[in-house]
Structure 1
Amino acid sequence: MQRYFVAAEQFSDNGIRLVGEDAHHAFRVMRTKPGDKFIVSDGQSRTALVAVIEASSTLVTAEIMEMLHADSEPGWAITIAQSLPKGDKMELVIQKGTEIGAYAFVPFQSERMVVQYDAKKEAKRIDRWSKIAKEAAEQAHRSRIPTLEAVHSWRELIQSIAAYDLVLFCYEREGHAAHGRGVRTAVQEWINSTDLIRAPKVLLIVGSEGGFTDREAAEAEAAGAVLVGLGRRILRTETAGIVGLTCLLYESGEMGGA
């Protein structure tokens, strides 16, 4: 069933309104007509099954048939910090990461970035990324749209590490080393050494096409991150975050792991 995210003010006591692109999509693409049903969410606490009353390309009004219990969000709030990749690779990270269950995304600058950072261009790209996250959240029947933060400098990213309960820094040397630590080992060590809280905040840091320098790895570790590998194979930057996120959700029990 089609799902839309709406602003809180588009909810009333017994009805909702779709406006803008959502109304256009419902009317022009989905051919919505009176009596049709779909699901709406305010991305916070309210999710409802609604039935259409009137529909046009600029406004769709619907009455609430049933308030639904939203339970599609993972127990762990996992943020993917992705060093800016070239081309449209970030779009793939956001789309698939949202489908899988990422809580938020933090694009950042690192030393071996291939792309040239342009603040004006990135602002426009963030608008597009936000739209991709919204559409992916609707497709995956998420209860909320992942947060997409502004591009961080390396120093800003390092300073943010203290705000998380667990931070994993994906570093290919850990994957190649015989004694290297993987995601499962790091997570189990963390679980065994702490009183596991509800909805822990986890940060997964992924490098760009050029990977990380030894200095960056040392700075991240000194700030509290755990260096981990994602296996002995070299993953593309747009693959690493998706793999790491899936591993973390499995270890959290989200996919039948723990």
Structure 2
Amino acid sequence: MKKRLLFLFSLLVVLATLTGCTEVNQDITAESEGIWNQYFVYPLSRLIIYFAELFGENYGLSIIIVTLIIRFALLPLMIKQTRSSKAMQALQPEMQKLKEKYSSKDQKTQQELQKETMALFQQNGVNPLAGCFPILIQMPVLIAFYHAIMRTGEISTHDFLWFDLGEKDPYYILPLVAGATTFIQQKIMMASGAAMQNPQMAMMLWIMPIMIIVFAINFPAALSLYWVVGNIFMIVQTLLIKGPDIKLTAESTGGAKK
């Protein structure tokens, strides 16, 4: 689990670097250079402007609409990721039994643990890496949309509901809602008792919402709005998508019971 968390964190850092986070304060225009700007950020910026103009210069509503469009477009990948996560959660009790059985740290014992763990995955049709690949595709799109929101100059000159889109939420309502919805989303994903007993998973349950709140407090409200809408979509998606019906066979559990 530590290696997986380290991998995901490293992936986020690399993607943030490769996608030009240094340009986040530069307005995106048709003259912006680079593949990232021309084929990812600028089209999304134009999409935001299009829907805003369609609804009477309502950029807040436009952000909501484009967020939902992107989320629905990524839905097949998100379904695959969600089902993979639920499948891994379903196997957590048996994986824990294997770890207890092969508790010795010597190399031979650890090799046996790895062998039986992989056999458990195969017998139940679970690919432990299946949840990582959708993230690789989703992240550039979501980061590009983040750039589009931050770098579309027209957004900062409009308001929505009680806040100015280009300024921080004066009442901190959006940051708190963003943090709360992040917590709820993760709580649902970690619904299995085994997942909650994992120290790293339990720690992330609290760290991520706190990080989102801190970021949201310091960023324009337009970005917080995007986070809130995206989180609500993910909560509904997670509740509606069922994980695979994993029925552990005698062969898959036999190793842990010997």
Whether the TM-score (by the shorter chain) exceeds 0.5 is: no
Which TM-score band (shorter chain)? under 0.3
Bigger relative contact order (CA 8 A; separation at least 6): 2
Q: TM-score, normalised by structure 2?
A: 0.25
Question: Is the strand fraction higher in 1 or 2?
Answer: 1
